[in-house]
Amino acid sequence: MLELRSVTKRFGDVDAVREVSLSVPDGAFLVLLGPSGCGKTTLLRMLAGLEMPSAGQIVFDGQVVSDGDRAWAVDPARRNSGLVFQSYALWPHMTVRGNVEWPLKVAGMARPEREARVAEVLRMLGIDGLARRFPNEISGGQQQRVAIARTIAPRPGVLLFDEPLSNLDAKLRVEMRTELMRLHRATGATTVYVTHDQIEAMTMASHVAVMRAGRVEQFGTPLDLVERPETAFVATFVGTPPGNLVPVRRNGTGWVVGGRHMPLEPPADGAQALFRAETLRLEGAEGPRTLPLELAEVSTIAGRVMVTAIAPDLRLTAVTEALPAARVGETVHIGLPETPAAWFAPTGERIG
């Protein structure tokens, strides 16, 4: 079990991580998901033991490994964890083999055992042909594999990844995603994986913590996040395409969305309605629940069509069966369903 108890990290007067509490069982694949600068790397570095929490505890298997309140921590090397850096941090003066072997050497593993393990990991990641090359002689994707091989070779119980795929091109990213999941099944190590890409989170995670400005906005399974977003931020951050958030305001006669009166019953003034893309329709003509918007983007995805239309302060994405008749720049009518999937208060929390 991996547990965080009110973990907080301050750099001077910047609160990089605030009061994060969560726990995942052994073998879980926890993804920390959030936009850049929300404190993901900082949290991961605290897990690795490279940073001391300013407050709170980190617990691996019932044993405290970092205690910010008492300002002590177990040495990074003794936490049974391994970290893959975003930059890979391969030692440029060592060969691929050297990079993978050195940590084992430091750990005092005997030579025959060490060589067997190095060969095994290199094979596992499909880089056994590159053993004698230096890091600057192999491609980015191969460097990535070396970094992973180096980290898993000592068989850590907790594997930490910092945006491992962000430096790869799109195709390679998809391949590596599968590879990493295979590796996770093969090693059984509890994995903490940092990313800003919600697709990675949704496809790989057993648990996701959505972070924003140092806080965990929501913690749950990928399905939880999509079906029951707890905050407006989560609702617009996850899902493909993410949900549409529409502010609903009261004027003299009723409720207004994007300049038109709508037969809606929001729980509060200024509330925001969540409409999923698949529930929006493309209407041929104006109706009681339609909004006239300017067509901005059209793209086909797996036989369906993703349509984005905009108004000065509104942006809606719908997934429909057929291509719109209108062209980009022309007006389309987007039909809203009778009830939204959820309501959020102006401050972001869910109210219905």
Partner 1 sequence: MTQAVLDDPPLRHAAGRRRWLAPGTGLKLVVLGLLALLIVMPLLSTVLFTLTEESRGAWGDVLAGRLSRALFWQPLLNTLVIGVVVSVACVLLGGFLAWLVVMTDIPFRRTIGVMATLPFMIPSFASALAWGSLFRNGRLGGRVGWLEGMGFSVPDWLAWGMVPTLVVLSLHYFSLAFTIIAAALATVSSDLVEAAQIAGARGRRILMGIVLPVVTPALVAAGSLCFAGAVSNFATPALLGLPVRMQTLATRLYGMISVGQTARGYVIGILLVLISAAVLWAANRAVSGRRSYATITGKGGRAKRFALGRARLPLLLVAALILACATVVPVIVLFASSLAPSSAALFSNWTVHYWIGESNPAIAQGIPGIVHNPDILRAITVTLTLGVAVAGAGMALGLLAAYATARSRAGWLSATITQVSFLPLLVPGIAFGAAYIAWAGAPIGPFPALYGTFLLLVIAGTAYLVPFSVQTGRAVIQQVSGELDESARLTGAGLARRLWAITVPLAVRGLAAGGILIFVKIIRDLSLVVLLFTPTMPVMSVLAYRYASEGFTQFANAITCVILVLSVAATLLAERLQARSQPWLKS
Ligand X SMILES: Nc1ncnc2c1ncn2[C@@H]1O[C@H](COP(=O)(O)OP(=O)(O)O)[C@@H](O)[C@H]1O
Q: In the complex, which residues of this chain contact Mg ion (CB under 5 A)? A: 41
Which is nearest to 293 in space by CA: 330, 267, 262, 261?
330
Q: Tokens for 24, please give them.
A: 């995942």
d(CA 216, CA 169): 29
Q: Which residues of 306-317 are buried (b: 16+ CB within 10 A; e: fewer)?
A: bbbbebeebebb
Which tokens in the block code for residue 159?
């594997």
Tell whether residue 220 is a contact of ligand X (CB under 6 A). Answer: no
Compute the distance between CA of residue 246 and CA of residue 51 in angstroms, rounded to an integer. 40
β-strands 158-162, 81-84 pairing: parallel
- Distance, in Å, from the CA atom of 278 to the CA atom of 128, rounded to the nearest integer, reads 46
Compare residues 6 and 166 and give the one whose CB is closer to ligand X. 166
Using rule CB under 8 A, residue 223 touches partner 1: no
How many residues bind ligand X (CB under 6 A)? The answer is 11
Q: Does 95 bind partner 1 (CB under 8 A)?
A: no
Closest approach of Cβ 214 to ligand X, in Å?
7
What is the smallest separation between the CB atom of 219 and ligand X, expressed in angstroms?
16
Interface residue with partner 1 among 30, 39, 85, 211 (CB under 8 A) is 85
| Among ligand X, partner 1, Mg ion, none, partner that 222 touches (CB below 5 to 8 angstroms by kind) | none
Tell me whether residue 43 or residue 262 sits nearer to Mg ion (CB atom): 43
Q: Which of residues 13-52 bind ligand X (CB under 6 A)?
A: 14, 16, 34, 36-42
In the complex with partner 1, the residue whose CB is nearer, 145 or 150, is 150
Using CB under 6 A as the binding rule, the residues of this chain from 42 to 101 that contact ligand X are 42
Q: How many CA atoms lie within 13 A of 271 on its CB side?
A: 18
Strand-pairing partners, residue 7, are: 20
DSSP codes, 163-185:
STTTTS-HHHHHHHHHHHHHHHH
Binder of residue 339, out of partner 1, Mg ion, ligand X, none (CB less than 5 to 8 A by kind): none
Q: How far apart are CA 321 and CA 306, in angstroms?
A: 9
Selection from Mg ion, partner 1, ligand X, none that 75 binds (CB < 5 to 8 A by kind) is partner 1
Helix axes 140-152, 96-106, angle to 10 degrees: 20
Q: Which is nearer to partner 1, 52 or 256 (CB)?
A: 52
Q: Toward partner 1, which CB reaches closer, 79 or 173?
A: 79
Quote the CA–CA distance of 50 and 63 in Å, as a whole number. 18
Under the binding rule (CB under 8 A), the answer on residue 178 touching partner 1 is no
Shortest spacing between CB 241 and partner 1, in angstroms: 27
**Residue among 257, 255, 225 at smallest CA distance from 243:** 225
* 38 contact choice in partner 1, Mg ion, ligand X, none (CB below 5 to 8 Å, kind-dependent): ligand X
The C-alpha atoms of residue 213 and residue 40 are separated, in whole angstroms, by: 10
| Residues 126-155 contacting partner 1, CB under 8 A | 150, 154
Q: Which is nearer to partner 1, 74 or 311 (CB)?
A: 74
The entry of partner 1, Mg ion, ligand X, none that residue 199 binds, CB within 5 to 8 Å by partner kind: none
Residue of minimal CB distance from Mg ion? Answer: 41
Q: Select from ligand X, Mg ion, partner 1, none the partner in contact with residue 39, using the beta carbon and a kind-dependent cut-off of 5 to 8 Å.
A: ligand X
8-state DSSP, 297: E
Q: Which of 31, 67, 121, 290 binds partner 1 (CB under 8 A)?
A: 67
Alpha carbons 7 and 53: distance in angstroms, whole number = 6
Q: Smallest Cα–Cα separation from 22: which of 249, 317, 239, 221? A: 221
Using CB under 8 A, list all residues that contact partner 1: 3-6, 12, 21-23, 48-50, 52, 57, 59-60, 62-65, 67, 71-79, 81-83, 85, 87, 89, 91-93, 102-103, 106-107, 150, 154, 216, 219-220
